[in-house]
Amino acid sequence: MWRKQDNTVQIGVDYYPEQWDSSLWEEDIQLMKVTGVRVVRVAEFAWSRLEPSSGIYEFDWLDKVLNLFHKYGIGVVLGTPTNTPPRWLTDLRPDILPVSADGSLHHPGVRGHRCYNSESLQLYGLRIVERMAEHFGEHPAVIGWQIDNEFGMTDCHCSRCSARFSEWVKRKYGTLAAVNKAWGTVVWSGEYSEWSQIGAPLGGSPFQNPSYLLDYDRFQWDAVTEFQRCQIDMLRRLCPGHFITHNFHSYPQRLDLYRLGKDLDVASFDYYPNTSPDKQSTGPYSGALSLDLTRGIKRRNFWIMEQLSGPPGCWFPMWRTPYPGFIRAFAWQAIARGADTVVHFRWRSAVAGAEQFWHGLIDHSNVPGRKFEEFAVLCSEVNALSNQLKGTELKHEAAILYSPEQLAALRIQPQAEGLDYYENIKDYHRALTKLGIGCDVIDWNEPLDGYKLIVAPGLYLMNEEAAARLEKFAADGGSLVLTSRSGVKNMDNQCEMMPLPGRLARCAGIVVEEYDPIGGDIHSIVDADGRSFECSQWCDLVSPREADTLMRYGGDFYAGKPAVTVNAFGRGQVYYLGTHAEESYLKRLFFKIAGRQKLTMFPNLPEGVQITIRSGKNKRFMFVLNLSRESRKVTLPGAYQSILYEEPRGRELEMEPYGVDILEISSNQS
Amino acid sequence: MWRKQDNTVQIGVDYYPEQWDSSLWEEDIQLMKVTGVRVVRVAEFAWSRLEPSSGIYEFDWLDKVLNLFHKYGIGVVLGTPTNTPPRWLTDLRPDILPVSADGSLHHPGVRGHRCYNSESLQLYGLRIVERMAEHFGEHPAVIGWQIDNEFGMTDCHCSRCSARFSEWVKRKYGTLAAVNKAWGTVVWSGEYSEWSQIGAPLGGSPFQNPSYLLDYDRFQWDAVTEFQRCQIDMLRRLCPGHFITHNFHSYPQRLDLYRLGKDLDVASFDYYPNTSPDKQSTGPYSGALSLDLTRGIKRRNFWIMEQLSGPPGCWFPMWRTPYPGFIRAFAWQAIARGADTVVHFRWRSAVAGAEQFWHGLIDHSNVPGRKFEEFAVLCSEVNALSNQLKGTELKHEAAILYSPEQLAALRIQPQAEGLDYYENIKDYHRALTKLGIGCDVIDWNEPLDGYKLIVAPGLYLMNEEAAARLEKFAADGGSLVLTSRSGVKNMDNQCEMMPLPGRLARCAGIVVEEYDPIGGDIHSIVDADGRSFECSQWCDLVSPREADTLMRYGGDFYAGKPAVTVNAFGRGQVYYLGTHAEESYLKRLFFKIAGRQKLTMFPNLPEGVQITIRSGKNKRFMFVLNLSRESRKVTLPGAYQSILYEEPRGRELEMEPYGVDILEISSNQS
Amino acid sequence: MWRKQDNTVQIGVDYYPEQWDSSLWEEDIQLMKVTGVRVVRVAEFAWSRLEPSSGIYEFDWLDKVLNLFHKYGIGVVLGTPTNTPPRWLTDLRPDILPVSADGSLHHPGVRGHRCYNSESLQLYGLRIVERMAEHFGEHPAVIGWQIDNEFGMTDCHCSRCSARFSEWVKRKYGTLAAVNKAWGTVVWSGEYSEWSQIGAPLGGSPFQNPSYLLDYDRFQWDAVTEFQRCQIDMLRRLCPGHFITHNFHSYPQRLDLYRLGKDLDVASFDYYPNTSPDKQSTGPYSGALSLDLTRGIKRRNFWIMEQLSGPPGCWFPMWRTPYPGFIRAFAWQAIARGADTVVHFRWRSAVAGAEQFWHGLIDHSNVPGRKFEEFAVLCSEVNALSNQLKGTELKHEAAILYSPEQLAALRIQPQAEGLDYYENIKDYHRALTKLGIGCDVIDWNEPLDGYKLIVAPGLYLMNEEAAARLEKFAADGGSLVLTSRSGVKNMDNQCEMMPLPGRLARCAGIVVEEYDPIGGDIHSIVDADGRSFECSQWCDLVSPREADTLMRYGGDFYAGKPAVTVNAFGRGQVYYLGTHAEESYLKRLFFKIAGRQKLTMFPNLPEGVQITIRSGKNKRFMFVLNLSRESRKVTLPGAYQSILYEEPRGRELEMEPYGVDILEISSNQS
Nearest chain B residue to C182 by CA distance is B352
* B554 and B424 part of one domain: yes
Contact C203 B364 (CB under 8 A): no
Q: Using an 8 Å Cβ cutoff, are A583 and A428 in contact?
A: no
Report the residue of B315, B355, B362, B372 to disrupt the C interface, i.e. the one with the largest count of C CBs within 10 Å. B315
Q: Using an 8 Å Cβ cutoff, are A510 and A544 in contact?
A: yes
Say what the alpha-carbon torsion angle B93, B94, B97, B100 is, to the nearest 10 degrees.
-150
* C560 and C620 part of one domain: no
- What's the pLDDT tens digit per position in A219-270? 999 999 999 999 999 999 999 999 999 999 999 999 999 999 999 999 999 9
Would you say residue A628 lies in a domain?
yes
Nearest Cα neighbor of A344 from A335, A624, B513 is: A335
Q: Is the pLDDT of residue B1 over 50?
A: no
Catalytic residue among A150, A355, A381, A405: A150
Arithmetic mean of pLDDT, B33-60: 98
Task: Count interface pairs A-B at CB distance under 8 A.
Answer: 166
Would you say residue C538 lies in a domain?
yes
End residue of a domain, out of B543, B565, B597: B597
Mean pLDDT (chain A) is 96
- What's the pLDDT tens digit per position in B598-640? 999 999 999 999 999 999 999 999 999 999 999 999 999 999 9
Q: Using an 8 Å Cβ cutoff, are B437 and B431 in contact?
A: no
Cα(A511)–Cα(A561) distance, rounded to whole angstroms?
A: 12
Helix (H) or strand (E) holding B480: strand B479-483
What is the structure's pLDDT at A668? Answer: 54
Contact B110 C417 (CB under 8 A): no
Nearest Cα neighbor of C583 from C423, C366, C420 is: C423
Identify the CATH number of the domain in which residue A629 sits.
2.60.40.1180
All residues of chain A having their beta carbon less than 8 Å from the beta carbon of residue C53 are 193
Would you say residue B482 lies in a domain?
yes
Arithmetic mean of pLDDT, C234-249: 96
All residues of chain A having their beta carbon less than 8 Å from the beta carbon of residue B207 are 109-111, 314-315, 354
Cα(B624)–Cα(B636) distance, rounded to whole angstroms?
A: 10
User: Which residue blocks in C174-209 are alpha helix, DSSP H?
Assistant: 176-183
Contact A370 B513 (CB under 8 A): yes
Phi, psi of B496 (to 5 degrees): -80, 140
- What's the pLDDT tens digit per position in C592-619? 999 999 999 999 999 999 999 999 999 9
Q: Using an 8 Å Cβ cutoff, are B210 and B409 in contact?
A: yes
Helix (H) or strand (E) holding B271: strand B266-271
Mean pLDDT (chain C) is 96
**B320-340: buried (b, 16+ CB within 10 Å) or exposed (e) per residue?**
bbbbbbbbbbbbbbbbbbbbb
Question: DSSP letter string over C53-87?
Answer: BTTB---HHHHHHHHHHHHTT-EEEEEP-TTS--H
* A116 and A96 part of one domain: yes
Q: Which residues are CB-contacts of C459 (< 8 A; sequence separation ≥ 6)? A: C401, C403, C406, C444, C466, C482, C486, C487, C504
For chain A, what is the domain count? 3
* C435 and C522 part of one domain: yes
Instruction: Supply the ipTM of this predicted assembly.
Output: 0.96
Catalytic residue among B44, B150, B381, B405: B150
Question: DSSP letter string over B196-249?
Answer: GG-----S--TTS-HHHHHHHHHHHHHHHHHHHHHHHHHHHHH-TTSEEEEEE-
Cα(C242)–Cα(A613) distance, rounded to whole angstroms?
A: 77
Report the residue of B351, B367, B370, B631 to disrupt the C interface, i.e. the one with the largest count of C CBs within 10 Å. B351
Nearest Cα neighbor of C108 from A197, B618, A60, B118 is: A197
Would you say residue A384 lies in a domain?
no
What is the structure's pLDDT at C72? Answer: 98
In chain C, the percentage of residues whose pLDDT exceeds 90 is 95
* A465 and A492 part of one domain: yes
What is the structure's pLDDT at B565? Answer: 98
All residues of chain B having their beta carbon less than 8 Å from the beta carbon of residue C496 are 351, 364-365
**Residues present in chain C in total:** 670
pLDDT band at A670 (very low <50, low <70, confident <90, very high): very low
- What's the pLDDT tens digit per position in A177-216? 999 999 999 999 999 999 999 999 998 788 899 999 999 9
Would you say residue C204 lies in a domain?
no
Identify the CATH number of the domain in which residue C78 sits.
3.20.20.80
Report the residue of B15, B107, B349, B358 to disrupt the C interface, i.e. the one with the largest count of C CBs within 10 Å. B107
Question: DSSP letter string over B121-181?
Answer: HHHHHHHHHHHHHHHHTT-TTEEEEE-SSS--------HHHHHHHHHHHHHHHSSHHHHHH
- What's the pLDDT tens digit per position in C37-90? 999 999 999 999 999 999 999 999 999 999 999 999 999 999 999 999 999 999
Q: How much is the pTM? A: 0.96
Cα(B430)–Cα(A212) distance, rounded to whole angstroms?
A: 58
Arithmetic mean of pLDDT, C286-315: 97
Contact A191 C47 (CB under 8 A): no
Region of B2 (left: φ > 0; alpha: ψ -120 to 50; beta: rest) is beta
* C567 and C589 part of one domain: yes
Q: Cα separations (Å) of A153 from A116, A160, A169, A458, C517? A: 9, 16, 18, 23, 49
Q: Is the pLDDT of residue C1 over 50?
A: no
Burial level of B530, CB count in 10 A (0-12/13-18/19+)? exposed
Cα(B208)–Cα(B215) distance, rounded to whole angstroms?
A: 12
Q: Using an 8 Å Cβ cutoff, are A416 and A36 in contact?
A: no
Question: DSSP letter string over A338-394?
Answer: TEEEEEEE-SB--SSSTTTTS--SB-TT----HHHHHHHHHHHHHHHHHHHHTT-B-
What is the structure's pLDDT at A1? Answer: 41
Would you say residue A343 lies in a domain?
no
Q: Is the pLDDT of residue B206 over 90?
A: no
What range defines the domain where residue C428 resides? 398-597
Q: At what angle do helices B119-136 and B60-71 cross, to 10 degrees?
A: 50
Q: Please state, as a whole number, how many other Cβ atoms lie within 10 Å of the Cβ of residue A211.
A: 27
* A556 and A623 part of one domain: no
pLDDT band at C2 (very low <50, low <70, confident <90, very high): very low
C-alpha radius of gyration, chain C, whole number = 26
pLDDT band at C666 (very low <50, low <70, confident <90, very high): confident
Q: Using an 8 Å Cβ cutoff, are A336 and A292 in contact?
A: no
Contact A363 B209 (CB under 8 A): no
What is the structure's pLDDT at A203? Answer: 85
Nearest Cα neighbor of A37 from A390, A339, A376, A385 is: A376
Arithmetic mean of pLDDT, C113-120: 95
Arithmetic mean of pLDDT, B397-419: 97
- What's the pLDDT tens digit per position in C446-483? 999 999 999 999 999 999 999 999 999 999 999 999 99
Q: Is the pLDDT of residue C670 over 90?
A: no
Pairwise pLDDT comparison (B110 vs C267), residue with the higher score: C267
Whether C306 is catalytic: yes
What is the structure's pLDDT at B153? Answer: 78
Q: Is the pLDDT of residue C3 over 70?
A: no
Would you say residue B98 lies in a domain?
no
* A624 and A577 part of one domain: no
End residue of a domain, out of B597, B621, B640: B597
Q: Which chains touch A (3 or more CB pairs under 8 A)?
A: B, C
Q: Cα separations (Å) of A297 from A366, A443, A461, C231? A: 37, 7, 21, 59
Tell me the CA end-to-end span of chain B in Å, nearest whole number.
Answer: 37
Q: Is the pLDDT of residue A102 over 90?
A: no
pLDDT band at B203 (very low <50, low <70, confident <90, very high): confident
Report the residue of A20, A28, A48 to disrupt the B interface, i.e. the one with the largest count of B CBs within 10 Å. A48
Contact A189 C349 (CB under 8 A): no
Arithmetic mean of pLDDT, A411-424: 97
What is the structure's pLDDT at B27? Answer: 98
Identify the CATH number of the domain in which residue A446 sits.
3.40.50.880
Q: Is the pLDDT of residue C155 over 90?
A: no
Contact C87 A190 (CB under 8 A): yes
Q: Is the pLDDT of residue B2 over 60?
A: no
All residues of chain A having their beta carbon less than 8 Å from the beta carbon of residue C356 are 210, 413, 494-495
Q: Cα separations (Å) of B113 from A100, B201, B259, C188, C200? A: 27, 19, 23, 11, 17
Q: Is the pLDDT of residue C103 over 90?
A: no
Q: Using an 8 Å Cβ cutoff, are C307 and C600 in contact?
A: no
Nearest Cα neighbor of C533 from C575, C494, C587, C490 is: C587
* CA-based max dimension of chain B: 77
Q: Which residues are CB-contacts of B55 (< 8 A; sequence separation ≥ 6)? A: none
Q: Is the pLDDT of residue C4 over 90?
A: no
* B641 and B496 part of one domain: no
* A584 and A470 part of one domain: yes
Residue B269, beta-bridge partner list = B248, B304
Q: Is the pLDDT of residue C641 over 60?
A: yes
Q: Which chains touch B (3 or more CB pairs under 8 A)?
A: A, C
Arithmetic mean of pLDDT, B52-72: 98
Catalytic residue among B51, B306, B374, B397: B306
pLDDT band at A2 (very low <50, low <70, confident <90, very high): very low
* C312 and C433 part of one domain: no
Nearest chain A residue to B186 by CA distance is A19
What is the structure's pLDDT at B374? Answer: 98
Q: Cα separations (Å) of A29 from A68, A73, A342, A447? A: 7, 10, 17, 45
Q: Using an 8 Å Cβ cutoff, are A166 and A212 in contact?
A: no
Would you say residue B510 lies in a domain?
yes
- What's the pLDDT tens digit per position in B490-504? 999 999 999 999 999
* C457 and C480 part of one domain: yes
In chain B, the percentage of residues whose pLDDT exceeds 70 is 99
Q: Which residues are CB-contacts of C235 (< 8 A; sequence separation ≥ 6)? A: C80, C129, C133, C145, C242, C244
Question: In this complex, which of C187, C496, C517 lies closest to B355 when CB atoms are compared?
Answer: C187
**Residues present in chain B in total:** 670
3-class secondary structure for C263-278? CCCEEEEEECCCCCHH
Contact B191 A352 (CB under 8 A): no
Region of A418 (left: φ > 0; alpha: ψ -120 to 50; beta: rest) is left
End residue of a domain, out of A546, A576, A597: A597
Cα(C45)–Cα(A186) distance, rounded to whole angstroms?
A: 9
Helix (H, G, I), strand (E, B) or coil at A396: coil
Helix (H) or strand (E) holding C291: helix C283-298
Contact C413 B319 (CB under 8 A): no
- What's the pLDDT tens digit per position in A489-508? 999 999 999 999 999 999 99
Whether A150 is catalytic: yes
pLDDT band at A666 (very low <50, low <70, confident <90, very high): confident
